[in-house]
């Protein structure tokens, strides 16, 4: 019961930080996890190194999109929060060099992207939208056959900030729900185009739980 309450509170707070409190989002993640948050998100990189067209859905302030983009790799940085996309544009403007990144305001359940046009889709610490069958249908639609969908679902940190340590056992259970496969039961029932598996990745700062899937079938399947 307490874990469910904590999860609900966390979801409510995150929704605020995707709206009116978006400018504080980078500060919040740094306060809670320091540089670890960014390193955990980068866990997607080994799974998409051959991709040339990638969508980062729920891109937030754009940090991962910057890491994904190379002269040979085009990135669509997608978020439904205009506040977050404003931060992403500011992030790109400070880099001082042009990167092949297009910023797009869109919902994961209705992507304005052509069929079979992407090599990979990534989502990191997504909201409950990742559980929506429409999200999976859209991701399967925009991926080329053989394309990859990587989701960083949760993390179990080795250490919490000192001011959260009294709550750390419950927080650890909350953040590592993926280990039990309960909160994010992927793939969804009836989903036959995204075949995936759970992956645990060990970092010095904790264990990251990913769901890695491949688009199966043909482009017209």
Q: Among 4-8, 96-100, 118-122, 162-166, which range has the highest average pLDDT?
A: 118-122
Q: Is the model's pLDDT at 116 over the cut of 50?
A: yes
CATH topology of domain 2-215: Rossmann fold (3.40.50)
Give the list of residues 6+ apart from residue 194 with CB closer than 8 angstroms, or none.
136, 139, 140, 149, 187, 213, 214, 215, 216
| CA neighbours closer than 13 Å in the CB half-sphere of residue 109 | 8
Q: Which residue has the tokens 């009836």?
A: 190
Q: What is the per-residue pLDDT across 129-182, written as a single tens digit (0 to 9) for each? A: 887 889 989 999 999 999 999 999 888 777 665 445 545 455 455 455 444 444
- The pLDDT value given to residue 181: 44
- The pLDDT value given to residue 35: 80
- The pLDDT value given to residue 5: 63
Q: Is the model's pLDDT at 55 over the cut of 90?
A: yes
Q: What is the per-residue pLDDT across 25-47, written as a single tens digit (0 to 9) for each? A: 777 777 777 788 888 899 999 99
Q: Is the model's pLDDT at 51 over the cut of 90?
A: yes
Higher pLDDT, 105 or 196: 105
User: Cβ of 58: how many Cβ atoms within 10 Å?
Assistant: 22
CB 184 within 8 A of CB 178: yes
- Residue 73's DSSP bridge partners are 70
Q: Where are the domains of the chain?
A: 2-215
- The pLDDT value given to residue 185: 43
- The pLDDT value given to residue 182: 40
Q: Cα(105)–Cα(166) distance, rounded to whole angstroms? A: 39
């Amino acid at each position: 019961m307490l874990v469910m309450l904590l999860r609900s509170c966390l979801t409510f707070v995150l929704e605020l930080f995707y709206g009116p409190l978006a400018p504080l989002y980078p500060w919040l993640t740094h306060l809670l996890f320091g540089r670890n948050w960014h390193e955990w998100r980068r866990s997607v990189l080994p799974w998409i190194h051959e991709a040339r067209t990638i969508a980062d859905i729920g891109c937030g302030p754009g940090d991962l999109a910057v890491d994904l983009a190379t002269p040979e790799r085009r990135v669509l940085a997608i978020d439904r929060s205009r506040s977050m996309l404003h931060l992403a544009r500011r992030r790109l403007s400070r880099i001082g060099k042009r990167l092949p990144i297009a910023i797009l305001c869109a919902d994961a359940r209705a992507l304005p992207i052509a069929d079979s046009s992407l090599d990979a889709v990534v989502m990191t610490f997504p909201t409950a939208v990742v559980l929506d069958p429409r999200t999976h249908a859209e991701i399967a639609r925009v991926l080329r056959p053989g394309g990859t969908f990587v989701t960083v679902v949760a993390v179990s940190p080795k250490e919490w900030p000192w001011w959260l340590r009294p709550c750390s056992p419950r927080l650890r259970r909350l953040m590592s729900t993926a280990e039990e496969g309960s909160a994010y039961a992927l793939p969804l029932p009836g989903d036959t185009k995204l075949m995936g598996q759970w992956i645990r990745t060990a970092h010095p700062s904790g264990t990251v739980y990913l769901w890695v899937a491949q688009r199966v079938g043909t482009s017209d399947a």
